[in-house]
Amino acid sequence: MIVAIDGPAAAGKGTLARRLAKHLGFDFLDTGSLYRGVGLQVLRQGGDPADPVAAKAAAETLDLALLADPDLRGEAAAKAASLVAAQPAVRAALLDFQRDFARKPPGNRGAVLDGRDVGTVVCPDAGVKLFVTASLEARARRRLAELQAAGRTAIWSAVLQDMQDRDARDSKRDVAPLKPAADAVVIDTTSLSPDQVFEAARAIVDAKR
């Protein structure tokens, strides 16, 4: 069984995906971490994540050890990920990896993948498709709290603008834009607790099993 969870940044899809995977005993893949890895690799090589040539080269030679690098969760990697993810060659280079993981998960029981285009492009045949979203302001508040908790200096207006810019890049790109799959169940987490989100998603998955 494949569970595809898509949605914008800081909507809560990562937290939900990890919790669902643990509950179901499925393997988990944060597809966004692959794009963060590509972006981080480009930055460390002194390149520009917006450069198609540099981004494609990084995607084709991605060092998977980067996926465990603490810098992967930083804002620089997040911005770079949004830039490289808009490039068709990068998405093509990472597509097979994601599909192989989904269809042949290490534990052979099932897979939960979260990202931006899992239900629409990576696994359009997923048994369960969820689109987790929240208001722009709610997501910016969550991201601000995450940054502050990590000891990073963050300004509300800058976090809000960055979130808005990232949403625009993700939803307006030509290849695999961020949008719910036609058969996805939308969960708005703006006023829900993590437990409420989990219970809603668990009920949907259980009904499909």
pLDDT at 143: 92
pLDDT of residue 175: 84
pLDDT for the residue numbered 111: 97
H runs (alpha helix) in the chain: 13-24, 31-44, 52-60, 75-84, 88-103, 136-149, 156-172, 194-208
Q: What confidence score (pLDDT) does residue 95 get?
A: 95
For residues 14 and 189, what is the distance between their CA atoms, to the nearest angstrom?
12
At residue 173, the pLDDT reads 87
Spatial distance between the Cα atoms of 102 and 97, rounded to a whole number of angstroms: 9
Rounded-to-integer distance, Cα 6 and Cα 17, Å = 10
CATH of 2-203, one of 3.40.50.300, 3.90.1150.10, 1.10.3720.10, 3.90.1300.10: 3.40.50.300
Q: What does each of the 209 residues of the chain score in pLDDT, given as a tens digit?
A: 999 999 999 999 999 999 999 999 999 999 999 999 999 999 999 999 999 999 999 999 999 889 899 999 888 998 999 899 989 999 999 999 999 999 999 998 999 999 999 999 999 999 999 999 999 999 999 999 988 998 888 899 999 999 999 899 889 988 889 999 999 999 999 999 999 999 999 999 999 98
Token duo for residue 146: 């995450």
Predicted confidence at residue 116, as pLDDT, reads: 92
Q: So where are the chain's domains?
A: 2-203
Q: What is the pLDDT of residue 150?
A: 83
